[in-house]
């Protein structure tokens, strides 16, 4: 299975509409891949809080429409990163969208852990309350969805494993000043859950916050298969779904869990 992570450069000078169009073309260029992944809140920028209200959109809004067409044209599964979703009751959510190769909405995930310590996203957005997994037909792989700050909460990933996840997709707008944590946490989630991690971060600088870039793909043993640099880049990696059960059989640590609920 081939996966492409598009590390988008998000800058203040580019309009949301222009960025949507540009990113759609980048998605279309990945027609040889099976899965394409975009970063967190790339239409507006993860730290551009002043745009959250004005650029919020419903799940079936303009970002979904443009990305659905791009996914259909490329014939790929598309994790379209996340958008600022405005729900029917007016609440805002940081919501990830997964689209099928036919352009149909296959899943959504509302970010559970909101960053900001009583500021920014933490007070402007409501929290999701559901775990989301997405089986990929014909690929023998089930995606578990998480977003950025979720990385710091390993119990979420264990819940996804209990729900069948064999690969985690983590879009992010992680700041450059904590890039060491970005790499460490992604590798840790892969090792402890014996799963692939596909972590796609944005690049560039928006709202005065330099982004970490350095998107990476980690295998179930914690080895980094590929890592991007600091700028806009497409990272393409071939994954072997058989490696997940092989790893879990060779080193069956998950069977020795003593705490937590098992579903």
* Active-site annotation, residues: 40, 111, 148
Q: Where are the alpha helices (DSSP H) in 7-132?
A: 16-28, 52-55, 62-74, 121-124
Starting at the edge strand found earlier in the chain, the sheet holding 92-99 runs 105-110, 92-99, 77-86, 35-37, 2-7, 233-238
- Nearest-angstrom CA–CA distance, 196 and 221: 9
133 and 164 Cβ atoms separated by less than 8 Å = yes
Q: Which residues contact 156 (CB under 8 A, 6 or more apart)?
A: 112, 113, 131, 146, 150
DSSP annotation of 139: T
Give the count of beta carbons closer than 10 Å to the beta carbon of residue 184. 12
- Nearest-angstrom CA–CA distance, 55 and 60: 14
Among residues 188, 251, 193, the alpha carbon closest in space to that of 224 is found at 188
């Amino acid at each position: 299975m081939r996966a492409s992570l598009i590390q988008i450069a998000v800058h203040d000078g580019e309009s949301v509409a222009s960025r949507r169009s540009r990113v759609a073309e980048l998605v279309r260029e990945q027609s040889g891949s099976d899965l394409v992944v975009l970063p967190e809140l790339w239409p507006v920028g993860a730290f551009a809080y002043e745009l959250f209200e004005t650029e919020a959109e419903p799940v079936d809004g303009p970002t979904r429409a443009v990305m659905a067409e791009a996914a259909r044209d490329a014939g790929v599964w598309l994790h379209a990163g996340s958008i600022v979703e405005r729900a029917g009751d007016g609440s805002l959510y940081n919501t990830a969208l997964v689209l099928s190769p036919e352009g149909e909405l296959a899943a959504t995930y509302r970010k559970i852990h909101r960053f900001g310590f009583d500021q920014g996203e933490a007070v402007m957005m409501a929290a999701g309350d559901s775990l989301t997994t997405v089986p990929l037909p014909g690929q023998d792989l089930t995606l578990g969805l998480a977003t950025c700050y979720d990385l710091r909460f390993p119990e979420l990933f264990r819940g996804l494993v209990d729900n069948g996840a064999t690969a985690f997709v983590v879009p992010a707008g992680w700041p450059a000043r904590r890039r060491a944590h970005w790499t460490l946490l992604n590798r840790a989630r892969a090792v402890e859950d014996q799963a692939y991690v596909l972590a796609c971060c944005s690049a560039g600088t928006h709202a005065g916050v330099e982004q970490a870039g350095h998107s990476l793909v980690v295998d179930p043993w914690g080895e980094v298969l590929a890592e991007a640099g600091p700028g806009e880049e497409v990272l393409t990696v071939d994954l072997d779904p058989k490696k997940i059960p092989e790893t879990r059989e060779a080193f069956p640590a998950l069977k020795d869990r003593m705490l937590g609920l098992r579903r």
